[in-house]
Structure 1
Amino acid sequence: MAKSAKVSVNHETGGLIVHISGLLPSLSPAEQRVARLVVADPAAAARRTITDLATAAETSEATVIRFCRSVGMEGYPQLRIRLAAEAARRIEPPDARVVGGDIPPGADMAQIIATIAFNDARAVEETAEQLDPAICERIVEAVAAAGRIEIYGAGASGFVASDFQQKLHRIGRTAFYFPDIHTALTSAALLGKGDVALGISHTGTTSDVIEVLEQARDRGATTVALTNFPRSPITEVADFVLTTAARETTYRSGAMASRLAQLTVVDCLFVGVAARNRTRAKKALEATADAVAPHRLGSNSTRRRA
């Protein structure tokens, strides 16, 4: 696959609120206060005048206008129209207490379950909505043709990296995941043209993952970044950028919602790669399933004896 200019997903395809949430870390502190008000209640923000919104955010009208331009709006009237449309299409849960992801002190177990379930489901749905099929197809093409695939991630993202490596390995793709930074760097140094390196970081600021992806890019490999924030540092070392749309609930920063959104993306890529050669993928999955079948209780397979 020929090297190309960086390609990024269009966040707005999944809705304005997803777009603003993804850009939030790159905004100024004053603009972030405006953004949080807008994200928390789009309908209420759409009803406010620019003066009202500025006052609520403890900032100036000029900052609100800068915020509009930072998120791709020409001005405040356009933002209000988009927010009103966004509010009209959003499906809220039956229990309004779960909106926003915050679990207040004293919340009962029913509210905790409802909040987590709603926000996890929304993370998956909004991530799927804003994925660009054309960009995913180009990444699938690169992975399917790659001589070697390496996947990097730390912490919660490391579990996703390991999951993707295991999936690709089961359909006969040469894929590796190295949780140790030194091993990852030495392996990335051996990559070259025709190989693919995928770095996963929810924040897009994990230095270990960025360093390894940069090493892979310098060696000529095609690099892919999977992050929640399209202006984060990891995107600077990626040929292709895919974004998730996770908003964490209380006590769960960097954990479940982000991991489920990431798994949604890698599952889409995995199925896309498997579909490129259905016969080969089917045979590989059957062979690997047969290999472990004797280790499952109740299996009809005869366990091999030494």
Structure 2
Amino acid sequence: MVNSSKVSAESVPSGLIVHIGGLLPSLSPAEQRVARLVVAEPAAVARRTITDLATAAETSEATVIRFCRSVGMDGYPQLRIRLAAEAARLVEPSDTRVVGGDIPPGADLAQIIATIAFNDARAVEETAEQLDPAICEQVIDAITVAGRIDMYGAGASGFVASDFQQKLHRIGRTVFYFPDVHSALTSAALLGRGDMAVGISHTGTTSDVIEVLEQARARGATTVALTNYPRSPIAEVADLLLTTAARETTYRSGAMASRLAQLTVVDCLFVGVAARNRTQAREALEVTADAVRSHRVGSARRRA
């Protein structure tokens, strides 16, 4: 497995705020209070003493130090330095209607549009910044040689899994998507060495997807997980772990920014696979496009 619950200072990505946000569910309740302050106001925290931060988070200085180590920092001084650098590079929304990236009660439609556009763009940019090219290469390698690939996801993540399946299928890969957990489990039970299973879950806690990946892994298939939280349960059943960086706000249940972040990763993987054999991929895309051309209004080829 490539994922680990231990984090060193050297392994912490340049996007420290994104990194902390991804680890937040795995922290203790007291450390989470510290983390939320850090994520919400990195510049302000960088100026605070450890005592001030501990007081604001209603915890102890010892907890702040534990938090620093949990996110890969040697101590509070290093955290302040990294936060100051992070705050300096963060791009603030140019639209004054976007305040804090959230949608306040009573917001008019113009403010809703501006805020959603900002959050979606930030999710895509931050996902790209923290995406590990080396892990992506390993996933692309596995897709390229896999005899069969199964995709799994529930809810909004299921739509992303279906999108990935369709993309890879159009360039000649043998790929299946199973939205029903019973069908998914029976499919996973028939996988073996040389096959691949991909599970997508924003929270990393969707039990159906985790169970299917466990089944696939037990049969010898290579397992890949795509999640927003690198220490979530799905990481424990993944041979290769990919992460997004989406910060859902008011309407989290709508899975808006997270879906776009997942699609960003999926598109990167798809293009990476297609680039391995450009001629074959181009021919497959042309053939499949031609197969449905007669079903488009205005096409020269009319249905009888």
TM-score tier after normalising by the smaller chain length:
over 0.9
Gaps of 5+ in 1: none
1:104 corresponding residue in structure 2: 104
Query: 1:109-163: CA deviations, max 9, x gaps?
Result: 2221111111110000000011111110111011011000001000000000000
Secondary structure in structure 2 of the residue aligned to 1:30: helix
Q: Give, in whole Å, the separation in 2 of the partners of 1:34 and 1:55.
A: 10
Offset at residue 300 of structure 1 (A): 1.6
1:12 corresponds to 2:12: yes
- Matched to 1:247, the amino acid is R
Secondary structure in structure 1 of the residue aligned to 2:274: helix
Gaps of 5+ in 2: none
Q: Give, in whole Å, the separation in 2 of the partners of 1:196 and 1:216.
A: 8
Q: Give, in whole Å, the separation in 2 of the partners of 1:11 and 1:123.
A: 21
State percent identity of aligned pairs: 84
* RMSD between superposed Cα atoms in Å: 1.5
1:287 corresponds to 2:287: yes
- Matched to 2:53, the amino acid is L
Query: 1:43-65: CA deviations, max 9, x gaps?
Result: 01101111111111111111111
Contact kept in structure 1, 2:11 and 2:72, CA below 8 Å: no
Offset at residue 299 of structure 1 (A): 1.1
1:212 corresponds to 2:212: yes
What TM-score, normalized by structure 1, do the two folds share? 0.95
1:265-304 → structure 2 map (5 Å cutoff): 265-303=265-303
- Matched to 2:214, the amino acid is E
Q: Give, in whole Å, the separation in 1 of the partners of 2:185 and 2:67.
A: 39
2:74 corresponding residue in structure 1: 74
- Matched to 1:153, the amino acid is G
Moved over 4 A (4+): 7-11
Larger mean CA deviation between 17-26 and 61-70 belongs to 61-70
Secondary structure in structure 1 of the residue aligned to 2:105: coil
Q: Give, in whole Å, the separation in 1 of the partners of 2:100 and 2:11.
A: 20
Q: Give, in whole Å, the separation in 2 of the partners of 1:262 and 1:193.
A: 26
1:116-135 → structure 2 map (5 Å cutoff): 116-135=116-135
1:21 corresponding residue in structure 2: 21
1:134-149 → structure 2 map (5 Å cutoff): 134-149=134-149
Change (3 A) 1:52 1:95: farther
1:256 corresponds to 2:256: yes
Contact kept in structure 2, 1:11 and 1:130, CA below 8 Å: no
1:113 corresponding residue in structure 2: 113
Contact kept in structure 2, 1:23 and 1:231, CA below 8 Å: yes
1:151 corresponds to 2:151: yes
Secondary structure in structure 2 of the residue aligned to 1:91: coil
Change (3 A) 1:278 1:22: same
Task: Count how many residue pairs are aligned between Structure 1 and Structure 2.
Answer: 300
- Matched to 1:6, the amino acid is V
Q: Give, in whole Å, the separation in 2 of the partners of 1:253 and 1:44.
A: 30
Secondary structure in structure 2 of the residue aligned to 1:98: coil
Offset at residue 21 of structure 1 (A): 0.2
Secondary structure in structure 2 of the residue aligned to 1:13: coil
1:185 corresponding residue in structure 2: 185
What TM-score, normalized by structure 2, do the two folds share? 0.95
